[in-house]
Amino acid sequence: MNGVLRRTMWFIIPAAVAAIVFANSLKGTFFWDDHALIFDNPLIKTWSGTMAMFSPDYWKFRHSGMSGQYRPLRNITFTLDYSFWHVNPVGYHLTNMGLHVLNVALVAFAARAVFRSDGAALISGLLFAVHPVHIESINYVKNRSDLLCTLFFLSAFLFWLKGRQWHALCCYVLSIVSKELGVMLPFVMTAYALWLQNEAGRRELMKKTVPYFAVFGAFIFWKFVVLAVPAGAAPVEIDPVISGVEPLRLVVSTVRAYIVLLFVPMNLNVDRLLPVLLSLVEARAVAFYFICAAGLYGIYRSAGRNKYLFALAWIIVCLGPVSNIIPIKGRAFAEQRLYLPSVGWALFFGSLLSDVISGRMVLPRVSADNARKGGILLVALWVAVWSVIVIRRNVLWQDTEKLWAAAAAENPANSRAWLNLSGVYMERGQYDKAENIYRTLAKYPQSKTTDTIHLNRGIIAQAGGDYAGALAFFKQACSINPRNFEAWSNAGSMQLMMGDEKEAQVSFEKAIELEPGVKSAGTHVNIGVLHLKRKNFKQAEQHFRRAIELNPDLLEARANLATIYNSFGMKYEAGEQEREIRLRSKTGSKINAYNPLLNVR
């Protein structure tokens, strides 16, 4: 047994460290986009919705995230989690943590395969296991896409090294349908062939990359042609931080920020703003160029330069798609996007420190024994310090109020962080705290947030019984952003409550025109209520049924449908809806005390 442990400790120890360090992430909750992807996504709640997740139309029009994404495998894992855990976040976090543990082991396997060193494998795995920049990828359930993408990316790379082409190609495709970043694998393969093979081996491996480049080309067509959103569809605004920044300065700013964060992961923030350089020759930029040049010169002079260059190439290749060459809509910069590039970082330092400890790298004026002891001590301290940082920050992720408060405090200019903090207050009924934030933000109009501020202030006014004030806020939101579906839907609710049925119907129909998919389920409930008031029972039934079709867990629709059936003596049909209400209430579905009018947020 001891012999087996010695032969396998190079990947078992890093995997165990990862499990220990991220164990307290199991106490986390759902966060931000998790609610739309899990709570409000009927497709993940039944296996019959699995095929729809592969449909381009779903990702263009019905997906709650940015249009043009294509990540069906992640959503299928949500279905699997839901079948076991329903909406208990523990199970979802357990899956994320388990995927990270597997990735740590695969990083160790990759290091051993590339560098042929158990020491490099052990150190690479340990450093990858505890890198603080991974906290967002593991604690934020939605970011499972990064974990899955990396899992299959590494698997494909390892299979390719072993010459198992079909296994590698299958894993490559699985990586891509987990997250688009996986498409960069053939460029990593090319870097390996160029720097770590002799001429004969290079030619042979380059031939083996051809099928992967073919898949790459097919995906580019799929991404930019098949998944292209038609003109006239609701646009996703560019992050105001990068709006108007010329392309080269934007890319250099992004790459610099990611590399700095990767090598010096300080001041972590769940919604980090991109630090855009004022110019390409300002002090920060020049310092970055100098440090990069000095580092590359040192690598070039070293005996193991080719393997170090391969590791750095991994970083640069995987940063390419997230470097804002094509400006990223929504968040221009996010810590989660470093998960796959950080594999290259782990390989770099794993190989470097292993060379120092083993004596393959001779340090000037340092004895081999001192270099070995110093290297081991450095790795131990590095892993220990970062483990403490990770464990402490995992605790912060367990409380969304504290997490958003920290994000806003660390960067007071980030209006989105303040808005999300106010959203937490609203969910908890702390409307006074939310209103204070909105009043402050309203003084600084920004195209990205102003309509949302008015929308949420309207919901607060409605909760306080000020329907006229709420309607005024909703109308302001519609005026600022005529494509704000939530504002139109909530304006219709207020108009209906104030007796203006004609205007309410106009607002509801406008909302559904803007958002005919899953998000409009609550609006269909409200139109159904309008028809109930007019005693148009057939039309009301149609809208309640449409709401259930869009979201089977929308209990208000079922409650109103049961009311119609009971009024017509249709006891069986009414009982069927009431049974569904009881069943779905047990699985965590929520209902606002059968309130017939729904606020849409």
Write out the two tokens for 197: 């093979």
Burial of residue 359 (CB within 10 Å: 0-12, 13-18, 19+) is: middle
* Partners of 329 in beta bridges: 238
Torsion over CA of 21, 27, 29 and 34, rounded to 10 degrees? Answer: 40
Sign of CA dihedral 311, 286, 260, 355: positive
pLDDT over 70 percentage in the chain: 92
DSSP notation for 336-405: GGGTTHHHHHHHHHHHHHHHHHHTSSPPTT--HHHHHHHHHHHHHHHHHHHHHHHHHHHHHTT-HHHHHH
Write out the two tokens for 194: 């160029």
| Domain ranges (residues) in the chain | 2-229+236-396, 401-586
Looking at residue 482, its amino acid is P
DSSP notation for 256-278: HHHHHHHHS--S--TTPPP---S
Q: For residue 362, what is the DSSP state? A: P
Q: Do 295 and 311 meet the contact criterion of CB atoms below 8 Å apart? A: no
Sign of CA dihedral 166, 120, 202, 190: positive
Cα–Cα distance, 496 to 587 (Å, whole number): 32
Q: Do 359 and 294 meet the contact criterion of CB atoms below 8 Å apart? A: no
pLDDT single digits (tens) 242-288: 777 888 999 999 999 999 999 999 989 999 889 999 899 999 999 99
Sign of CA dihedral 441, 447, 448, 452: positive
Q: Do 124 and 65 meet the contact criterion of CB atoms below 8 Å apart? A: no
Cα–Cα distance, 415 to 417 (Å, whole number): 5
pTM for this prediction: 0.88
Comparing C-alpha atoms, which of 535, 502, 509 is closest to residue 524? 509
Sign of CA dihedral 367, 369, 372, 375: negative
What's the 3-state SS for 212-247?
HHHHHHHHHHHHHHHCCCCCCCCCCCECCCCCCCCH
Write out the two tokens for 570: 């249709």
Q: What values do phi and psi take at 207, rounded to 5?
A: -60, -35
pLDDT single digits (tens) 203-224: 888 888 999 999 999 999 998 8
- Residue 594's pLDDT band, with cuts at 50, 70 and 90, is very low
Q: Do 304 and 359 meet the contact criterion of CB atoms below 8 Å apart? A: no
Residue 16 has pLDDT above 60, yes or no: yes
What pLDDT does 489 receive? 93
Q: Do 180 and 215 meet the contact criterion of CB atoms below 8 Å apart? A: no
pLDDT single digits (tens) 365-383: 888 889 899 999 999 999 9
Cα–Cα distance, 505 to 488 (Å, whole number): 10
What pLDDT does 599 receive? 46
The residue among 237 and 456 whose pLDDT is bigger is: 456
Cα–Cα distance, 523 to 488 (Å, whole number): 10
Q: Is 329 helix (H, G, I), strand (E, B) or coil?
A: strand
Write out the two tokens for 89: 């976040």
Cα–Cα distance, 242 to 405 (Å, whole number): 24
13-17, 371-375, 456-460, 539-543: which is most confident: 13-17
Residue 116 has pLDDT above 50, yes or no: yes
Q: Do 275 and 351 meet the contact criterion of CB atoms below 8 Å apart? A: no
pLDDT single digits (tens) 388-414: 999 999 999 999 999 999 999 888 888
What pLDDT does 3 receive? 62
Looking at residue 11, its amino acid is F
Contact partners, residue 499, CB within 8 Å, separation at least 6? none
Residue 417's alpha-carbon distances to 272, 295, 411, 425, 601, in angstroms, are 9, 36, 8, 13, 17
What pLDDT does 447 receive? 45
363: left (phi over 0), alpha (psi -120 to 50) or beta: beta
Residue 445 has pLDDT above 70, yes or no: no
Q: Do 560 and 529 meet the contact criterion of CB atoms below 8 Å apart? A: yes
The CATH class, in words, for 401-586 is mainly alpha
Residue 297's alpha-carbon distances to 191, 264, 300, 308, 492, in angstroms, are 19, 20, 5, 12, 65
Q: Tell the residue number behind the tokens 């004596």, with chain if given.
A: 359
What pLDDT does 361 receive? 79
What pLDDT does 324 receive? 92
* Count of residues in the chain: 601
* Partners of 238 in beta bridges: 329
Residue 277's alpha-carbon distances to 73, 259, 316, in angstroms, are 37, 14, 19
The CA-based angle 288-291-292, given to 5 degrees, is 85
Residue 97 has pLDDT above 70, yes or no: yes
Average the pLDDT over each of 88-97, 395-404, 447-456 and give the range with the smallest value: 447-456
